[in-house]
Structure 1
Amino acid sequence: MSPPQAPHEQQQNPSMTLSARDKAGVPAPAYPPPERGAAPGWPVVLYFHHIHPDIRHYTAMTPVAFDRGLAQLGERFLPLEPQAVPSVLDTGGHPNPACLLTFDDGYADVFEHALPIMERRGWRSVVFVIVDLVGQVEHHPVRGPLQHMTWEQLAELTRRGHIVASHGTAHIALNRMDTAAAQADIDNARRVLQERLPGVPDWLAYPFGELPRPGEMRLPSLCFGSVKAPVRAWDSAPHEIRRTYLPADEPQRWNRCMTEWRRAWDPSGSP
């Protein structure tokens, strides 16, 4: 289950402007703003948690906002099919500005609200699920009761061209566990996913973007971090692929974010 107070709930919205943080008495975040994108020539990877009309969080959007965001993204980036990720890795990047969509936790509102919008707009995604919470109602300390997708819904996602991968077993930050416990969490999630959805790739999104403690570990072939991860090429850092986000409550920043993300292909910054 989630810890009593998740780290991303303790932190205030990292997309807040400096003046807004000052007025609210909020300390500046310890990680980069969302405008920082990918390493040169590598796809920008976005992460979301919810697409829901009522949930407010820096990685949650209303369906209307998500639709608008995908429309803007589609004007500036090619949608990267999740199945193309291995070929991008093998060839050392992507020749054109490309974007991969990912969702963390496996909430049912992604199936209900995000799926039809993505399919109408021509996007597919990677959904990282917490295997202990599949089909369960999570009683979140801030957002209240949250329904997670069922195994049947996850199987339907894969049939429709999306990819399901691991967000761990219990959604505990791996650096809060010793190496053996972290390895057991990763291995159990891998085993359950292969049993329930044979053929899913061995990929992991670190819970809360936190890497395990230093030590010998059998990590999945690709591991995804968060906006806190450094900007590095996937082939030099396959176990900490950086992801960023569209500031949900600041749509006026979206154009600037996308312009900066495109600098990975066009340093001049042309739109």
Structure 2
Amino acid sequence: MNADPTLGSAPGWPLVLYFHHVNALVDHYTALTPDGFRRALETVLSEVGPALDPAGIGPGFRPPDHPGVLLTFDDGYRDNLEIAAPLLAEFGVKVLLFCVTGELDAADRLSDAERAALPPRRSFLTWAEADRFAALGHVLSAHTVGHPKLPELGHREAAEEIATSLDRIRARTGEPARTFAYPYGLIPERPAVLAGVLAFGTVKSPPTSWAHRPLHIRRTYLPADEGERWARLAIGWREQWFGSQ
């Protein structure tokens, strides 16, 4: 396992980045301030390549013949809509949003006052807000029901966590969920993801082609507290795309 973010994707395959928050109040290695996120988008789009449309991501995906990047967000936090979405719109970028469906269900049950009192790390989208996010051209997908560490569950329980979240997304959007992200990037030894789904890990996954290992797709990140490295990281990720050339 190589958890170093400098290792991007397999040669010829898109770079995939993951974020959690765009929020100045959150201290997390994948949480950026609004200004930081704007600079991240500028850096990646200029140094790596254009953003992929998440609507085209699914089984059978064929990569473009040039470097590009797929942006993803995990969990489904409220600031993804309120803060990240306007910045994404500035650049015309769409993202895959991997939702912890049980948290969105729980957000629906809270009053406005209860939601206003939550810290950003506990403030999730409601389903109506997730619909608004999707209406902007972003794609909702699944990240389990309760965000467990799947390898610590039995196979049946892990498979149920995954399948139930995929079904919840399909019921809400009217479209099959074609992608899934493992909580914590932890992948069970025994496959628990349904056929017809691409599954994304984190920096804990190796950089292999999506065609070869469609359930172990590597994602990496821009370290929130190391902004001086971002340009070098992005240049390196682009160079890695040419590794097979």
TM-score surpassing 0.5? yes
Deviations 1:21-75 (A, max 9, x none): xxxxxxxxx7431111011110000000111011011000001100111011121
Q: Which of the residues 67, 86, 107 maps onto 1:116?
A: 86
The verdict on how the C-alpha distance between 1:110 and 1:70 changes in structure 2, with shifts beyond 3 A counting, is same
The verdict on how the C-alpha distance between 1:200 and 1:164 changes in structure 2, with shifts beyond 3 A counting, is farther
The verdict on how the C-alpha distance between 1:215 and 1:165 changes in structure 2, with shifts beyond 3 A counting, is closer
**1:45 and 2:16 are equivalent in the alignment:** yes
Q: Which amino acid aligns with 1:97?
A: P
Kept in 1, the 8 Å contact 2:101–2:165? The answer is: yes
Q: Which of the residues 167, 175, 190 maps onto 1:199?
A: 175
Deviations 1:207-250 (A, max 9, x none): 11111242676355100000110000011011011000001100
Kept in 1, the 8 Å contact 2:57–2:178? The answer is: no
Task: Give 1:95 deviation, angstroms.
Answer: 1.0
Identity %: 34
**Aligned with 2:164: secondary structure?**
helix
Task: Give 1:128 deviation, angstroms.
Answer: 0.3
**1:189 and 2:165 are equivalent in the alignment:** yes
Q: Which amino acid aligns with 1:225?
A: G
Task: Give 1:200 deviation, angstroms.
Answer: 4.5
**1:33 and 2:16 are equivalent in the alignment:** no
Kept in 1, the 8 Å contact 2:58–2:198? The answer is: no
Kept in 1, the 8 Å contact 2:102–2:145? The answer is: yes
Aligned to 1:214: 190
Matches within 5 A, 1:216-235: 218=194, 221-235=197-211
**Cα distance in 1 between the residues matched to 2:189 and 2:120:** 31
Paired positions, count: 233
Kept in 1, the 8 Å contact 2:77–2:121? The answer is: no
**Aligned with 2:240: secondary structure?**
coil
Q: Which moved more, 1:224-233 or 1:182-191?
A: 182-191
The verdict on how the C-alpha distance between 1:145 and 1:210 changes in structure 2, with shifts beyond 3 A counting, is closer
The verdict on how the C-alpha distance between 1:61 and 1:218 changes in structure 2, with shifts beyond 3 A counting, is same
Kept in 1, the 8 Å contact 2:57–2:179? The answer is: no
**Cα distance in 1 between the residues matched to 2:27 and 2:190:** 34
Q: Structure 1: 5+ residue runs without aligned partners?
A: 1-29
Q: Which of the residues 84, 101, 123 maps onto 1:147?
A: 123
Deviations 1:67-119 (A, max 9, x none): 111011121211111012248x443x221110010000000011111000001
The verdict on how the C-alpha distance between 1:217 and 1:152 changes in structure 2, with shifts beyond 3 A counting, is closer
Aligned to 2:45: 74
Q: Which amino acid aligns with 2:161?
A: D
Q: Which amino acid aligns with 1:157?
A: F
Kept in 1, the 8 Å contact 2:130–2:140? The answer is: yes
Q: Larger helix proportion, structure 1 or 2?
A: 2
Aligned Cα root-mean-square deviation (Å): 2.1
The verdict on how the C-alpha distance between 1:200 and 1:112 changes in structure 2, with shifts beyond 3 A counting, is farther
Task: Give 1:202 deviation, angstroms.
Answer: 2.8
Kept in 2, the 8 Å contact 1:135–1:148? The answer is: no
**1:58 and 2:35 are equivalent in the alignment:** no
The verdict on how the C-alpha distance between 1:86 and 1:52 changes in structure 2, with shifts beyond 3 A counting, is same
Task: Give 1:161 deviation, angstroms.
Answer: 1.0
Higher relative contact order, structure no. (Cα contacts within 8 Å, ≥ 6 residues apart): 2
Q: Structure 2: 5+ residue runs without aligned partners?
A: 111-118
**Cα distance in 1 between the residues matched to 2:120 and 2:90:** 30
